[in-house]
Amino acid sequence: MTLRGKAAVVGVTDAVSPTGELELTGRALEAQVVRDVLDDAGLSLSDIDGVCHSGNSIQLAEFLGINARFTDSTMTGGSVFEVYLEHAASAIAAGVAECILVVFAQTPRASRTAAKRRGEKFEQVRGRPGMWGGPNPQMEWEVPYGLQGPVGGYALSASRHMAQYGTTPEQLATIAVKTREWASLNPRAKNRDPITVDDVLASDMIASPLHKLDCCLVTDGAGAFIVTTAERARDLKKPPVYVLGASTAHTHMMISQMPDLGTTPGAISGPKAFEMAGVKPGDVDVLMGYDSFTITQLLHFEDLGFCAKGEGGPFVESTNIGPGGTLPTNTNGGGLSYTHPGMYGMFLVVEAVRQLRGEAEARQVPDANIAVAHGSGMVLSCMSTSVLGTEAAL
């Protein structure tokens, strides 16, 4: 089944702060973004008949008073919101639902601050048994050997890429520098001060070869988007952004089981999404790629087909991915400089839609008609690619 042009994103919002911390948390924060996204779309709660939420979509629907015909609490980590976009578009194309709400809120910084006020120790435990809903072999096969999560897995991938293809720390650092250039144009970004390649290399080593400025932020954040039928979208408040193609693939859960440390499942999801959309990488006006670490983004360039495998390093040196460049990438400042509450995929969709609607202000890419939101979940485990377009792209 092709999804091309059958569903559209009609509302988006996100809640972030330049301080990295939000006042609202939990259901109150979710309620805020739900109200804002409904206003953005020109819809009401009574219009919603589907709910997606990575915690519990049934509980959220109950809280909001929605009687849902479609519900989804799939959990793939940071790529889950691209997965929800694919699922929502599929459900709409099949006639299962007509108007689906996707919601996210996570506040690690506010939680840490609250714990300190109570005199408690706050820490996010990774790798604990059952944390993803069942037995976790990571506790037996990775954690005892000192793998630092999550950065350790990405450091392994970066080290392998360097050894196999000659990729350099300077090339990875260039991604952080160009992403910061976009953040400098975004008053809502956490980090806006310009940086250089030397600044990245001089920042603390977190897990060799990744420095602190190769790593994403830890901030509070929330967001929401609404997907509906193409027919209904044409009569709503904002210009519709159509789902042209979507695909998801995963190859492993633990980094030790990744078939090739230098190739992600994006090499599967990307080509399939492009094929469905009827476009090529060269047609893309804006690329929103999950940048949990600089190596994550470099792998996206290769696996989505913007350059050949192993040429990601030279590609970022020769292609301007920053403002005014030929491949505008992570135009809001990315997870590296804008915000990163733990599952960043929501913000990929929000910014892609804003760019295609011409609402990105100082960072607006001229004449943007095709955007890609490419999410990465777990440790390079599950990739989900969404190709979005304006009316002109249909």
- How many Cα atoms are found within 13 Å in the side-chain-facing hemisphere of 64? 32
Query: Could you tell me the pLDDT band of residue 125, with boundaries at 50, 70 and 90?
Result: very low
pLDDT of residue 18: 97
Does pLDDT of 124 surpass 60?
no
264, HSE (Cβ side, Cα atoms, 13 Å): 35
Does residue 364 surpass a pLDDT of 90? Answer: yes
Four-point Cα dihedral 312, 390, 246, 92, nearest 10: 160
Q: Identify the pLDDT of residue 189.
A: 98
Alpha helices (H) in 94-129, listed in sequence order? 108-117
Neighbours of 197 (CB within 10 A): 16
In the block, residue with structure tokens 């440390």: 261
pLDDT tens per residue, range 296-313: 999 999 999 999 999 999
For residue 145, what pLDDT is reported?
A: 86
- pLDDT score at 146: 86
Average pLDDT, the chain: 95
Which of 74-88, 104-118, 128-142, 223-237 is the least confident region? 128-142
Give me the percent of the chain exceeding a pLDDT of 90: 90
CA–CA gap between residue 89 and residue 254 (Å, rounded) = 29
Q: Go through the domains of the chain in sequence order and give each one's CATH number.
A: 7-109+216-393 (3.40.47.10)
Eight-class DSSP state of 285: S
CB 220 within 8 A of CB 109: yes
Residue 22 pLDDT greater than 90, yes or no: yes
Section 68-89 average pLDDT: 98
pLDDT tens digits along 133-147: 567 788 888 888 888
DSSP states along 19-55: TS--S--HHHHHHHHHHHHHHHHT--GGG--EEEETT
- pTM confidence score: 0.95
Q: CA 359, CA 12: separation in Å to the nearest integer?
A: 11
- Do 302 and 308 contact (CB within 8 A), yes or no? yes
User: Is the separation of the CB atoms in 222 and 105 below 8 Å?
Assistant: yes
* 116 has pLDDT over 80: no
The pLDDT of residue 127 is: 41
- For strands 50-53 and 99-106, give the pairing: parallel
The mean pLDDT of 74-78, rounded to a whole number, is 97
Question: Does the N-terminal peptide bond of residue 129 adopt cis geometry, omega within 30 degrees of 0?
Answer: no
**Range 312-323 average pLDDT:** 98
Tell me what the mean pLDDT of segment 204-214 comes to.
Answer: 98
- Portion of the chain with pLDDT greater than 70, in percent: 95
Q: Are 225 and 100 in contact (CB under 8 A)?
A: no
Measure the CA–CA gap between 242 and 234, rounded to whole angstroms: 10
Tell me the average pLDDT across 77-83.
98
**Interatomic CA distance for residues 270 and 165, integer angstroms:** 22
Pairwise CA distance, residues 184 & 272, whole Å: 34
Q: Which of 26-40, 109-123, 304-318, 325-339 is the least confident region? A: 109-123
pLDDT at residue 131, as a whole number: 46
